[in-house]
């Protein structure tokens, strides 16, 4: 799989679609704030107007990014029969100290390491891609290398 491609899980795509609707509603609210701020007169010293314009630009940028991701993103579905790790796979790994962890390899916009969702673009995600059950993978971290044994691929 292309490392630069935007990957989305079905759940991630649904969340982006919901976020897009919410942001478009928020954009209308911000436009109303801009209109009300304009009514206050002199725009050069109107803090409400300038803040609303910044919020509008920021929200518009988020909308454009989500629309791009939805249009160009690839919805991933891991082949449960696959013996190699790819984007969408959920894996169980064991560290050298015996501690087991479960990770799902996702696109970068869905990554949440605290929930076990690791980006295919992260060093740990890249290290796992293409590996098989039983492989030992060493991931370089600022504190040194960490070795993982792949116990299971789901």
Asked whether the beta carbons of 67 and 19 are under 8 A apart, the reply is no
The candidate with the shortest Cα–Cα distance to 83, out of 120, 134, 42, 125, is 134
The candidate with the shortest Cα–Cα distance to 110, out of 88, 79, 140, is 88
> Burial of 76 by CB count in 10 Å (0-12 exposed, 13-18 middle, 19+ buried)?
buried
> Could you give the domains of the chain?
7-75 (1.10.287.180), 90-153 (3.10.50.30)
- What's this model's pTM, rounded to 2 decimal places? 0.72
pLDDT by residue for the chain (154 residues), tens only, comes to: 444 678 898 888 999 999 999 999 999 999 999 998 888 777 777 888 889 999 999 999 999 999 999 999 989 876 777 889 998 899 999 999 999 999 999 998 899 999 999 999 999 999 999 999 999 999 987 888 899 999 999 8
């Amino acid at each position: 799989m292309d490392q630069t491609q935007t990957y989305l899980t079905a759940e991630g795509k649904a969340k982006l679609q919901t976020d897009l609707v919410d942001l478009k509603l928020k954009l209308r609210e911000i436009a109303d704030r801009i209109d009300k701020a304009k009514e206050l007169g002199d725009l050069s010293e109107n803090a409400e107007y300038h803040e609303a314009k910044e919020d509008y630009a920021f929200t518009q940028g988020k909308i454009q990014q989500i629309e791009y991701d939805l249009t160009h993103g690839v919805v991933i579905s891991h082949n449960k029969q696959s013996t190699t790790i790819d984007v969408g796979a959920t894996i169980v790994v064991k560290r050298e100290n015996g501690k087991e962890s479960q990770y799902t390899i996702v696109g970068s916009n869905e990554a949440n390491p605290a929930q076990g969702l690791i980006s295919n673009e992260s060093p740990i995600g890249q290290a796992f891609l293409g590996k098989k059950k039983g492989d030992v993978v060493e991931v370089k971290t600022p504190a040194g290398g960490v070795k993982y044994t792949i116990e299971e691929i789901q």
